[in-house]
Each structure stands twice: as structure tokens, then as C-alpha cells.
Chains A and B, each alone.
Chain A
């Protein structure tokens, strides 16, 4: 029943999408491009969550939904679960994937000092980091779409302090 797609295809599709939005459609308007990519992810997440929540009881609270994202949803997408889930019990969740597939092929020097992007960085690394973050709007959108389809309006941001580990921060709109 479940039809499958080669991972490399998905990877290159993602890369292609990002590049075409950043460099072609909305070149020199990065925030706009980001929003568009995120929106695409949103719809994908919406529809995937529709599919992956079939045959399962409704979630009674937010935590359950988040857990679903971490476990089943993630393994449907990436054949692995989220490695680490933290929460402050006040509507903020941090989902960490120690080896995020879509960044695995990303050739950003994972040396610690370029971890904190705020610090003094040579522009090159900054650029690289930006390119990477561009690729993260899509998964962010997916998570947001899935959650909001489960009735949890939220904002999702990604943090790539130490690649290839990647952590998604979900802030649920109270």
C-alpha cells in the first residue's frame, strides 16, 4: 500500500527547492523565500499528519501530540525517532535530532566555534550557516503544519548550534 520514494530523490528535491526559491524566485529577498518554503512545508506537514494519524486514538493533550511527532511521525519521515525531547511544561518543546538526515549531507564545518552564530564569525561560515538554515525552514513548516492540523497552533524554529545535530523549538501559542 505505502508507496516509497528513494531518499536521495527527496534530498535532492529539497535542495533544489531551496536553491530555486533562494536564488531564483526570491533572490535577494531571503525572508520572503523562507516564508514560501516554510509554507510548502506547512502543507506537507498538514497532509502527512492527516495520513499518519489514521487508526490511532485522538490525543488528549499537547504532550501526546508532540510525542507522536517525535516517535511515529518522525520515523515515518526519517526512519528514526527524535533523540531527545525537552519541555518547560509551559508550552515550549525542544525536539533534538542528533543526526538530522537533511543536514547530514550538508558540508558545514561542524567545528564547535562556529556553533554560536551570534559570535564573531568570518562571513563565509555565516553564509554557510544561512544556507543551512534555509534548508531548515521546510522541516519547520512540516512540524508546524502537522501540529496545527492536530489543533495545536504553534511556532517552530530550528537551531543548528552543533551540526549535524539539529533541534527544533516548538512554541505553542497559548
Chain B
């Protein structure tokens, strides 16, 4: 299942971070997301690692922590999406699909004229949309 999703601005400032666990490990997840930024930077700065998928928005598996898998997605506008999941066999397609929908949701959220660019996303509709996406991710990967 997806444990945590996050949107990180182009100055590596958290725009939105939401954990989907009952356990009180918000801090840990914050740390994990925060660390994953290092990997994102790495991937972006020396793209030879990413090889064929040059400059693709989807960064793939960033790094496996002890029992999480962290996936990353970097938009053209240097906004990072981070996905932390616990299930160990995730189909790439699922993750890509997830990120695409997540990105769409994000775009709609920030296109709101009342949203101040670079500030935290507080829109409730966005939160709801994200949670539905997360749920559906669980289903699709199960099926």
C-alpha cells in the first residue's frame, strides 16, 4: 500500500505531504521524503545513470529504505512528486500511472487563481482527489 505521497517545490520546500498510515511515523516519512530529494538531485545532475530515459519526468525507484520503496517524479517545472510505498513488487506501469494522475491533480490545484505559487497546497479538493488516487493505486496494483 502507499504509505506517503508528497509534493516538493522547486526550492525543495514541501508543498504537500500526506501519510496514509495509522502509525505515528509522520516524522520518519518526512525524513524519508526529504532524503529522497538527494537522490532526485543526483539523478538529475548526472543523467548518465538514468541512461535511455533521459529527462523523463518519471525517475523510477529512487532508493529502497529498510522497508519502504521510494519512487520519484520530476516535472518540467522542477516540482517533485514522491511516492513511498510498502509493497515490494510494484509494477512500473502502476507507478507511472499514479504519478500521471497525481500530476494532473496537482496542476488543477495550482491553477486555482487563489493559490499562491510556492506556498503549501491547502485545497481540500486536492487532498480528496489525491486520496482517491492513492486508493485506486492500491486496487490496480492488487489486480
Contact = CB atoms under 8 A, between A and B. Distances in A.
B100 A55 contact: yes
B129 to A, nearest CB: 14
A57 B73 CA distance: 11
Contact of A54 (B10, B54, B104): B104
B56 A57 contact: yes
Nearest to B106: A50
B110 A47 contact: yes
A54 B99 CA distance: 11
A57 B111 contact: no
B128 to A, nearest CB: 19
Contacts of B110: 47, 50
A30 to B, nearest CB: 25
A164 to B, nearest CB: 29
A149 interface: yes
Contacts of A43: 113, 117
Nearest to A48: B111
B10 A58 contact: no
B76 interface: yes
A53 to B, nearest CB: 4
A150 B55 contact: no
B contact face: mostly helix, strand, loop, or mixed: loop
Given A58-B55, A60-B55, A151-B10, A53 B76 contact: yes
A151 B76 CA distance: 9
B107 interface: yes
B49 interface: no
Q: Interface size for chain B: under 10, 10 to 19, 20 to 34, or 35 or more residues?
A: 20 to 34
A58 B107 contact: no
Grouping DSSP codes into helix (H, G, I), strand (E, B) and loop, the A interface class, with mixed when no group exceeds half, is loop
Given A43-B117, A46-B117, A47-B111, A53 B75 contact: yes
Interface in A36-51: 43, 46-47, 49-51
Nearest to B10: A151
B103 interface: yes
Contact of A57 (B54, B100, B104): B54
Interface string A50-67: 110111111110000000
Interface in A1-60: 43, 46-47, 49-51, 53-60
Contacts of B62: none
Nearest to A148: B77
Contacts of A60: 54-55
B111 A58 contact: no
A54 B103 contact: yes
Interface of A: 43, 46-47, 49-51, 53-60, 149-151
18 contacts: A46-B117, A47-B117, A50-B75, A50-B77, A50-B111, A51-B111, A53-B77, A54-B103, A54-B104, A54-B107, A55-B57, A57-B54, A57-B55, A58-B75, A59-B76, A60-B54, A60-B55, A149-B77
